[in-house]
């Protein structure tokens, strides 16, 4: 049943012009940034050629590209997740789904995997840009793989948080704004972590970008992966509990 719900969610997304618009706009923006970074690399390549341990194309082109991709998708993700549950709640199809012999966990996982499928397709399209460089130069494949893993985990975290916010309201616009606010807070909470206060370590750990930056640098640490997995699990459990609360008779 999870697979059926996920396939339906993914199909619904691609029936919407919003999803196609987002795919087109994101690719256009990233293509511009990609070409700009290549131009920058070509400008400095002669000066870097004679230096020991000089940054390569992976450091100058791919790492900034993936870093900027995270910021752009922070803005885009709420627009994709906002309708997942709120639209169904407003049209009352969610009540029909909840009254069917399907558990809340299956509904949430199906919705989540459908949304995640869209973002993985987007990630595959984004990956083609750095991979195309392999035709003409040598890449640091370890750093590239670590960066793509970080972006995949970041997208999975955005999806889980957005799905939860969508379960709280029957207004998609409110879900999008609240999702963006939550994700932005968890993004910039790292700024408070630089203040040197006693809770700074907690803020640093909670920061979405802190763990992403480590993976972008090619520093694979299992604690970063565990952070994202815990983040995703927490919001999925909260979403299940939210739907359970709605189904319980008052």
pLDDT of residue 173: 92
CA distance 119 to 122: 5
Average pLDDT over residues 56-80: 90
Place of tokens 């979405």: 208
pLDDT of residue 194: 60
> Does the structure show a pLDDT above 70 at 249?
no
| 43-47, 76-80, 131-135: segment of lowest average pLDDT | 43-47
Residue 89, CA atoms < 13 Å, CB-side half-sphere: 19
For Cα atoms 91, 2, 69, give the angle at the middle one, nearest 5 degrees.
Answer: 80
What tens digit of pLDDT does each residue of 182-215 get? Answer: 999 998 887 765 655 555 777 888 888 889 988 8
Return left, alpha or beta for 226; rule: phi > 0 is left, psi -120 to 50 is alpha, else beta. Answer: alpha
pLDDT of residue 195: 57
pLDDT of residue 181: 94
- Whether residue 143 contacts residue 104, with contact meaning beta carbons closer than 8 Å, is answered with no
- For the ranges 4-13, 156-165, 210-219, the one whose mean pLDDT is highest: 156-165
| 24-28, 45-49, 169-173, 215-219: segment of lowest average pLDDT | 45-49
DSSP class of residue 139? -
- Whether residue 79 contacts residue 162, with contact meaning beta carbons closer than 8 Å, is answered with no
CA distance 194 to 35: 33
CA distance 131 to 144: 9
Task: Give residues with Cβ within 8 angstroms of 138, minimum separation 6.
Answer: 56
Tell me how far CA of residue 42 lies from CA of 37, 38, 54, 79, 98, in angstroms: 9, 6, 14, 36, 57
| Tokens encoding 171 | 């207004």
Q: Per-residue DSSP letters for 113-134?
A: HHHHHHHHHHHHHHHHHHHHGG
pLDDT of residue 90: 82
> Does the structure show a pLDDT above 70 at 167?
yes
Number of domains in the chain: 1
- Whether residue 172 contacts residue 245, with contact meaning beta carbons closer than 8 Å, is answered with no
Domain extent, residue 176, equals 1-249
Backbone angles phi, psi at 195, to 5 degrees: -80, -15
Average pLDDT over residues 152-180: 93
Provide the 10 A C-beta neighbour count for residue 238. 18
Q: Which residue has the higher pLDDT, 207 or 156?
A: 156
What tens digit of pLDDT does each residue of 99-146 get? Answer: 778 888 999 999 999 999 999 999 999 999 888 888 877 888 888 999
Average pLDDT over residues 223-231: 93
pLDDT of residue 7: 92
| 17-26, 99-108, 159-168, 241-250: segment of lowest average pLDDT | 241-250
CA distance 238 to 250: 20
Task: Give residues with Cβ within 8 angstroms of 186, minimum separation 6.
Answer: 161, 206, 207, 208
Interaxial angle between packed helices 17-48 and 63-81, expressed in degrees from 0 to 180 and rounded to the nearest 10: 170
């Amino acid at each position: 049943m999870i697979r059926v719900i996920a396939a339906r969610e993914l199909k619904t997304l691609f029936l919407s012009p919003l999803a196609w618009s987002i795919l087109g706009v994101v690719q256009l923006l990233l293509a511009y940034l990609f070409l700009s970074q290549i131009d920058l690399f070509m400008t400095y390549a002669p000066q870097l050629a004679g230096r020991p341990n000089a940054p390569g194309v992976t450091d100058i082109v791919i790492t900034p590209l993936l870093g900027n991709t995270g910021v752009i998708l922070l803005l885009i993700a709420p627009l994709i997740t906002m309708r997942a549950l709120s639209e169904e709640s407003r049209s009352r199809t969610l009540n029909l789904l909840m009254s069917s012999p399907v558990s809340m966990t299956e509904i949430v996982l199906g919705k989540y995997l459908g949304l995640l499928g869209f973002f993985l397709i987007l990630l595959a399209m984004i990956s083609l840009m750095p991979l195309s460089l392999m035709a003409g130069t040598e890449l640091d494949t370890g750093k590239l793989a670590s960066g793509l893993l970080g972006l995949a985990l970041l997208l999975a975290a955005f999806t889980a948080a957005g799905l939860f916010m969508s379960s709280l309201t029957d207004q998609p616009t409110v879900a999008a704004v609240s999702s963006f606010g939550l994700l932005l807070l968890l993004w910039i909470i790292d700024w408070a972590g630089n203040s040197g206060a006693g809770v700074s370590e907690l803020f640093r750990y909670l920061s979405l970008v802190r763990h992403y930056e480590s993976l972008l640098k090619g520093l694979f640490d299992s604690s970063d992966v565990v952070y994202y997995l815990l983040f995703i699990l927490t919001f999925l459990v909260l979403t299940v509990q939210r739907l359970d609360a709605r189904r319980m008779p008052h």
